[in-house]
Amino acid sequence: MTMFTQEQIKNLLTNKNVSKCSLKSATYNPQFKVEAVRKYYEEGLSPNTIFREAGFDLDILGKYIPKDCLKRWRKVYTEKGAEALLRENRCGPGRRQKRKEFKDNEEKIKYLETKVKYLNAENDFLAKLRGLKRE
């Protein structure tokens, strides 16, 4: 896993195609994503060339990042179109997910009761595991 130094983060944030940057990853502007996919398909440019032309230092990013990003962006573009890429918000572990919508309060109550039962069962299981460890 790539870990950026503070100096590298500052360098990446000077690029107009980066909207955010943390120790572990950079977030690219949606317009750059669409333009990168367009250049890949229409101009036949390689991912590394696209990123280099956009002002990225591949020694900082890593040589496989452009390929991985383009692969992910092309998939979104192919499945959902450019508009989806413009509003894409990756949602994985540790990220907020879309809230569950309920038809009425009855459905919400049923969902929450089921969730409470599940969490209680999980707590009981963990308590038993802790008990087994002590013995």
Task: Provide the terminal-to-terminal Cα distance of the chain, rounded to the nearest Å.
Answer: 39
* 92 belongs to a structural domain: no
Helix (H, G, I), strand (E, B) or coil at 28: strand
Phi, psi of 70 (to 5 degrees): -60, -40
Within the chain, residue ranges assigned H as helices are 6-13, 30-38, 47-53, 58-61, 65-80, 82-87, 105-134
Q: Which domain holds residue 105?
A: 100-135
Q: What Rg value do the Cα atoms of the chain yield, rounded?
A: 22
Phi, psi of 54 (to 5 degrees): -85, 5
CB 28 within 8 A of CB 17: yes
| pLDDT value of residue 94 | 46
What is the rounded CA–CA span in Å between residue 101 and residue 131?
Answer: 38
| pLDDT value of residue 18 | 93
CB 23 within 8 A of CB 4: yes
| pLDDT value of residue 98 | 60
Phi, psi of 31 (to 5 degrees): -65, -35
| pLDDT value of residue 90 | 57
Q: Are residues 26 and 69 in the same domain?
A: yes
The domain total for the chain is 2
* 78 belongs to a structural domain: yes
Average pLDDT along the chain, 135 residues, taken 10 residues at a time: 86 93 91 94 95 93 92 92 76 54 87 91 88 69
Q: Are residues 115 and 81 in the same domain?
A: no
The interaxial angle of helices 65-80 and 30-38, nearest 10 deg, is 90
| pLDDT value of residue 82 | 86
Q: Are residues 17 and 72 in the same domain?
A: yes
